[in-house]
């Protein structure tokens, strides 16, 4: 999914894989996104900061457009 085309819209992200065994900077990024436990969900608006954070941990996340 190309997030740059969704700039300014809301997306819902969900942590679908565990943070166990990930690098410390990936854990900190997931925590900064508000995802602390597997299965936790947050709604964020898409901007350049969010896109950069998402790219660091996208292998752990599931994303969909929020209504």
Closest CA to 34 of 51, 13, 60, 11: 13
User: What are the extents of the domains in the chain?
Assistant: 3-65
Residue 1 has pLDDT above 80, yes or no: no
Closest CA to 7 of 46, 51, 49: 46
In this prediction, residues 15-41 reach a mean pLDDT of 97
pLDDT digits (tens, 9 = 90+) for 32-54: 999 999 999 999 999 999 999 99
Pairing label, strands 61-65, 10-15: antiparallel
pLDDT at residue 43, as a whole number? 97
DSSP H or E segment with residue 5: none
Query: Whole-prediction pTM value?
Result: 0.89
Q: d(Cα 5, Cα 12) in Å, to the nearest integer?
A: 16
pLDDT at residue 11, as a whole number? 96
Fold of 3-65: Ribosomal Protein L30; Chain: A, (3.30.1390)
Three-class SS state of 41? strand
């Amino acid at each position: 999914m190309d997030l740059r085309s969704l700039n300014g819209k809301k997306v819902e992200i969900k942590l679908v894989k565990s943070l166990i065994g990930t690098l410390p900077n990936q854990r900190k990024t997931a925590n900064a996104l508000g995802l602390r436990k597997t299965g936790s969900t947050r709604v964020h608006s898409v901007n350049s900061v969010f896109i950069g954070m998402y790219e660091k941990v996208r292998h752990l996340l599931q994303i969909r457009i929020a209504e």
